[in-house]
Amino acid sequence: MVSIRVWVSAMSLAVPGSLHAEEPLLNRGNDPFFQISSAIPDCPEPAGPRITEAEWKRDSHHRIEHGNHCWIEGRCRLPNAFAYDQEIADTARRRLQWLTTNMPEWKQSTLWITVWQRWILVQGCVGPQFPTARFMAAMREIPDVERVADQITRDAARSLPYAPFHRRDGRDGPDRPDGRRP
């Protein structure tokens, strides 16, 4: 089984080496990746699961192998850990709606979530009153979530615990989903 540090490192560092590649950076595995809040200005968008086709081909065996481990080890009811991801993402969205009513201070943030192989990666910037421990505990309570990785910062200018997304044309904002630039 992949350790959380290995996975977080891979997700955080997968894109920077390919920033100068000619290939478009796309979410080739269709891993759920979405922004959940936007209260903190100038918080850098994470690179997320966007990779080149060459990186996708290089990592495909590893992805298949790790996707099947939870089934082989008897820890999953479905035969592939990635089969849970969209359901976990949908449940996370419902959980966030509940948290907005029951823990509204979580909205004092600019955060993104990536769901990958039953893991939730929370990345972004939070305000001084953000309830980190309670928020992460609420994410761990989502059914079928195996792990939650915390990559948030209270000061993005001082320390950024994730690789930021950079468009290859140097402008801010994401490329189009089809890989072309607007």
In DSSP notation, 27-69 reads -TT---EEE----STTPPPB-TT-B-HHHHHHHHHHHHHHHHH
The more confidently predicted of residues 66 and 117 is 117
99 occurs within a structural domain: yes
Average pLDDT over residues 10-23: 51
Q: What is the C-alpha to C-alpha distance for residues 121 and 148, in angstroms, rounded to an integer?
A: 6
Residue 138 or residue 9, greater confidence: 138
Q: Is residue 16 part of a domain?
A: yes
Residues in contact with 181: Cβ distance below 8 Å, sequence separation at least 6, in sequence order: 167, 168, 169, 175
User: Which stretches of 122-175 are DSSP H helices?
Assistant: 132-140
Q: Kindly state whether residue 73 falls inside one of the protein's structural domains.
A: yes
Domain ranges, residue 87 = 4-153
Distance CA 45, CA 104 (A): 22
pTM of the model: 0.81
For 105-130, what is the mean pLDDT?
A: 97
Q: Is residue 47 part of a domain?
A: yes
> Does residue 122 belong to any structural domain of this protein?
yes
Q: Are 31 and 49 in contact (CB under 8 A)?
A: yes
Paired strand residues for 164? 46
Q: Which residue has the tokens 């290089």?
A: 58
What backbone torsions phi and psi does residue 141 show, to the nearest 5 degrees? -75, -10
pLDDT-derived band at 179 (thresholds 50, 70, 90) equals very low
Residue 7 has pLDDT above 80, yes or no: no
- The token pair that represents 67 in the structure block: 């996707």
Q: What is the mean pLDDT of residues 77-85?
A: 91
In a domain, 50, yes or no: yes
- Do the domain assignments include residue 60? yes
Q: What is the pLDDT of residue 6?
A: 46
Per the structure, the count of domains in the chain is 1
